[in-house]
Amino acid sequence: MSEPRAIVAAFLDSFSSGDVEAILEYLTEDATWWVLGNVHGMSGTIDKATLGSLLRKVKPLYLDGALTITPSSMISEGRQVSAEATSHARLCDGRVYANAYHFRFDLDGDRICSVREYSDTQHMLEIFGQQSEVGVLGNLSR
């Protein structure tokens, strides 16, 4: 079994590449992704298939085809990893999406089974939400 921090670091590198299929390979089939808050369409829990759909919808919005996530620190205990990170992407319409995160990753073997994301959902809403002309996140959360 690989070291959990190494798996998470590789996952974040893959995420930064924009290769949706490669990103999803790091997740178990029953993986979930949860985002803090009460912002409709931004917060809540989604499954792996919905995450894949979301990533495919937002990828064309990024000038370089990807959202770069750069971890600044990681701490692991057992099969859990906590990471602080920042993101950056220039959008095709000229706007910039840049957020700060705290992630909690749970691993099952060498794959991620759960992600808990703490970030600025207001910024997410301003860039991707229903108020924008794209509204890509509008109906994805459960």
CA dihedral for 118, 50, 79, 72, sign (positive or negative)? negative
pLDDT band at residue 84 using 50, 70 and 90 as cut-offs: very high
Check residue 111 and give its pLDDT: 98
9 has pLDDT over 80: yes
Specify the range with the lowest mean pLDDT, choosing from 49-58, 115-124, 133-142: 133-142
Check residue 1 and give its pLDDT: 73
Check residue 47 and give its pLDDT: 97
70 has pLDDT over 60: yes
136 has pLDDT over 80: no
CATH annotation of 4-128: 3.10.450.50
pLDDT band at residue 68 using 50, 70 and 90 as cut-offs: very high
pLDDT band at residue 122 using 50, 70 and 90 as cut-offs: confident
pLDDT band at residue 43 using 50, 70 and 90 as cut-offs: confident
Residue 136 phi/psi, 5-degree rounding, is -65, -25
Strand 96-97, strand 27-35: pairing: unpaired
Check residue 42 and give its pLDDT: 78
Total residue length of the chain:
142
Question: What integer is the mean pLDDT of 114-130?
Answer: 88
